[in-house]
Structures are given as C-alpha cells and as structure tokens.
C-alpha cells in the first residue's frame, strides 16, 4: 500500500488550506455568532472547483476523485465546518445523484450551475415523522399523467434557504412501500413551494437549515430523477457517499481542534514550563493524534474504495461512525487543554466542539451507522 499523496493531491490540500486560512478564518467567529451565510465564499469555492469536485468536466465540474474531495473537505472543516457542510451537501448529495442517474437534459440544465457555485443544491429526504426511517415518507407525489402533484413537509434541510435546486423524495404509490418512492427535481420559485424560517442551531450556524413545505406543487414528469419507484434506492446510494463527506468533515473538525490545542500547549506555561511538557497534557495530545490518524485512514480508505468502484457502503458507515466520535472527543479535550480560554469564542475550540456534535447526527445517528455495518456483516 502506498500512503503517500500524489503531487495533484498535495496541490489540492495546499489550495484548500490556503483558502481556509486566508479567506474563511478571518470572519469565521462573526459568521458563527450572527449566523451569516458565507455567500461570497461559496462563489469562490465554485471558482476553485470545490463545489463540483467529482463532476465530469463536460458538465462544468473539476473531474477529480473522491480522495481529492475528502482532502479538500478536511482542510475547510479545520477552519469552518459550515462552509464544509455547504460544499459537502452540494457535492455528495446533489451533484452525485444528478450525474449518475439524471437524463442528459437534466445534467446539462442543473450540473453546470451547481458545479460552478453559481447555484446551490439541497437534498430533501428527512421529514418530521421520517428522519432516520427513510422508508416512511409522508410527503406524496401523486401521478397526474403528465406531472406529479407534490404535497408534504421536509425538515432539517441543509442549504434549504439558499439552494435553487432541490432533490425531493416523495411517496407515489403507498401500496408498493419504499418501491413506490420517487426522487423529484424541484426548483425554487415553483408555485406552492415555500421555505420555513432558518433554524437557530447549536453548531454549523452559518450554514442555513430550513423546513420545506409543498402544497399542490406541479412537478413535470421530466423532473423525475431515475426510473419510477427508484427514489429509495437512489437515496440510500447517495447516503453511502454522503457519509464519506460527513466523515471528512468530522476528521477536519478534530484535526483543527487538535492543532489549536497542540499550539496553545506550547505557548501556555504552568509551573515554570509549557503545559505540553506536563504528562497530563502530553498524554491528551498523544491520544488525540492517535485517534485522528485512525479516523483519517478510515476516511481515506472509504474514498479510495469509491474511486476504485468497489463496494464502500460499510466502509463509509464505519468511517462516519468513528470519525464523528473522534471529533466530539477531540474537541472536548481541546477545550480542556485550553482551560478557561477554551470556553471563550476567540480561541475557536468552543465553536469546533459545537460543530462536532452534528457529525454524530446527520446522515444517520451512530445507531443508524451500526445498523448499516451490522447488516453488511451478517449478510449470508
């Protein structure tokens, strides 16, 4: 096995790191506190190729591999997890399904603006009564011949207010169960489509999360993504890839917190020497580094498997499960290393700790990941 990054991968890391440090970092605390959406930076991420990293260049994307994608996400999440989740949702949850299962007309219409950062996409699966249980879709899309009539509510939608293009999942034929679910492409501005207030969240506060409401929205048949009844399978396949993105975000949050704690421990003195020279702190740093390296290998392996077109569902669930746990534990310890200073905003670690929690929740809780993993393990 070769664990060295290629020259191209190293260039991507450096580009993402430079952007995060010079562009994202200066205003990150204010954006978090005031819940400002990073509009100008999303456009710059599009210019850098980060918003359509794995999209084929013929549709305006960068045409890079999944390893490149997680490398960039990790660097952005070290500084601004909100920017990272905006990028991740656009890439993993929207561009992926459109490119793999969209018609040529759909790809040409939607992928170009999404990959360039001119428009944002959102993935609408969760509902008030169907969060982790994606088979229980209460949103309906009644077949009216030449169009579907869409009714229902979606919750916890990342990019919900800023997106222009939405992939919405709805039940068309209740008798068929999850085989009757369809994925529909909805555009902002369609009559009957409304967006709820922005959620006031614990973390990733400068990303926007909203509920979406549909009342007799007429959706043309050509806006269906994939074959009739293919929606549930599309959602599950998308989530497999989405977990790689979440794992990379968690990895970045953990790595960012560790770097801050390590640097602070070299500067802060106690009992006549830097606190990193005290075994209690040194051992914390050693544990943090060990866990982060293990998470990094799991994340990179999942991305590599995806690039090799090998099964990666179990691997992505393992990476997401472990990396999110590491993010939470590492950020808690980073606050502890900082002591009282860790509890105030200017040292960044308290924000990273708040951001870390969502990585244990979205794309399925830890328990959901264990279901995915155990099902794979117990297959005959």
CATH number for 256: 1.20.140.10
Q: Is residue 168 domain-resident?
A: yes
Do 87 and 188 lie in one domain? The reply is no
Do 140 and 207 lie in one domain? The reply is yes
Do 218 and 237 lie in one domain? The reply is no
CATH number for 49: 1.10.540.10
Q: CB–CB of 309/337 below 8 Å?
A: no
Q: Which residues pair with 273 in a beta bridge?
A: 270
Which residue range forms the structural domain that includes residue 78?
7-120
Do 251 and 346 lie in one domain? The reply is yes
Do 363 and 265 lie in one domain? The reply is yes
Q: Is residue 113 domain-resident?
A: yes
| Measured CA angle at 194 (ends 190, 199), to 5 deg | 140
Q: Is residue 1 domain-resident?
A: no
CATH number for 151: 2.40.110.10
Q: Is residue 2 domain-resident?
A: no
Q: CB–CB of 287/108 below 8 Å?
A: no
Do 266 and 363 lie in one domain? The reply is yes
Long-range contacts of 125-132 (CB under 8 A, 24+ apart): 125/154, 125/169, 125/235, 126/154, 126/155, 126/156, 126/157, 127/152, 127/153, 127/154, 127/155, 128/153, 128/155, 131/155, 131/156, 132/364, 132/365, 132/368
Q: 77, 92, 120 — which closes off a domain?
A: 120
Q: What is the pTM of this model?
A: 0.96
Do 138 and 106 lie in one domain? The reply is no
Q: 179, 214, 231 — which closes off a domain?
A: 231
Residue 363: active-site member: yes
Q: Is residue 103 domain-resident?
A: yes
Instruction: Output the tens digit of pLDDT for each of the chain's 380 residues.
Output: 788 999 999 999 999 999 999 999 999 999 999 999 999 999 999 999 999 999 999 999 999 999 999 999 999 999 999 999 999 999 999 999 999 999 999 999 999 999 999 999 999 999 997 766 778 899 999 999 999 999 999 999 999 999 999 999 999 999 999 999 999 999 999 999 999 999 999 999 999 999 999 999 999 999 999 999 999 999 999 999 999 999 999 999 999 999 999 999 999 999 999 999 999 999 999 999 999 999 999 999 999 999 999 999 999 999 999 999 999 999 999 999 999 999 999 999 999 999 999 999 987 788 989 999 999 999 85
Do 174 and 85 lie in one domain? The reply is no
Q: Is residue 330 domain-resident?
A: yes
How crowded is the C-beta side of 326, counted as CA atoms within 13 Å? 32
Q: Is the dihedral of CA 231, 232, 233, 236 positive or negative?
A: positive
Structure tokens at 196: 């709820």
Do 134 and 115 lie in one domain? The reply is no
Do 88 and 164 lie in one domain? The reply is no
Please count the structural domains in the chain.
3
Of the residues 33, 222, 363, 367, only one is catalytic, namely 363
Q: How many CB atoms lie within 10 A of CB 6?
A: 12
Q: Is residue 268 domain-resident?
A: yes
Q: 120, 150, 176 — which closes off a domain?
A: 120
Do 90 and 165 lie in one domain? The reply is no
Do 243 and 354 lie in one domain? The reply is yes
Q: Is residue 44 domain-resident?
A: yes
């Amino acid at each position: 096995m070769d664990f060295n990054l290629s020259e191209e991968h190293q260039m991507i890391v450096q580009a993402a790191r430079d952007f995060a440090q010079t562009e994202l970092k200066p205003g990150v605390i204010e954006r978090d506190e005031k819940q400002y959406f990073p509009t100008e930076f999303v456009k710059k991420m599009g210019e850098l190729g980060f918003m359509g990293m794995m999209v084929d260049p013929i549709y305006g994307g960068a045409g890079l591999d999944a390893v490149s994608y997680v490398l960039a996400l990790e660097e952005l999440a070290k500084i601004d997890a909100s920017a990272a989740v905006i990028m991740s949702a656009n890439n993993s949850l929207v561009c992926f399904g459109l490119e793999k299962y969209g018609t040529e007309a759909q790809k040409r219409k939607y992928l170009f603006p999404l990959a360039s950062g001119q428009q944002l996409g959102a993935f609408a699966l969760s509902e008030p009564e169907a969060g982790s249980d994606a088979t229980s879709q209460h949103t309906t899309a009644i077949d009216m011949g030449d169009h579907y009539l869409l009714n229902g509510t979606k919750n916890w939608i990342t990019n919900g207010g800023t997106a222009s293009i939405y992939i919405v999942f709805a039940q068309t034929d209740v008798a068929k169960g999850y085989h009757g679910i369809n994925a529909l492409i909805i555009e902002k501005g369609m009559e009957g489509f409304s967006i709820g207030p922005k959620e006031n969240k614990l973390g990733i506060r400068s990303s926007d999360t909203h509920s979406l409401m549909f009342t007799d929205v007429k959706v043309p048949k050509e806006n269906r993504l994939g074959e009739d009844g293919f929606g549930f399978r599309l959602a599950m396949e998308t989530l497999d890839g989405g977990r790689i993105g979440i794992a990379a975000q968690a990895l970045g949050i953990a790595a960012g917190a560790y770097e801050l704690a390590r640097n602070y421990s070299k500067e802060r003195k106690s009992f006549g020497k830097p606190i990193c020279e005290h075994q209690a702190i040194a051992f914390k740093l050693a544990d943090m580094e060990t866990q982060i390296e293990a998470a990094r290998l799991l994340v990179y392996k999942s991305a590599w498997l995806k690039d090799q077109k090998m099964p990666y569902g179990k691997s992505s669930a393992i990476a997401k499960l472990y990396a999110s746990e590491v993010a939470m534990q590492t950020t808690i310890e980073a606050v502890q290393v900082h002591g009282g200073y860790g509890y105030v905003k200017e040292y960044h670690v308290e924000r990273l700790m708040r951001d870390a929690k969502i990585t244990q929740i979205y794309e399925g809780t830890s328990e959901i990941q264990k279901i995915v993993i155990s099902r794979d393990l117990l297959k005959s």
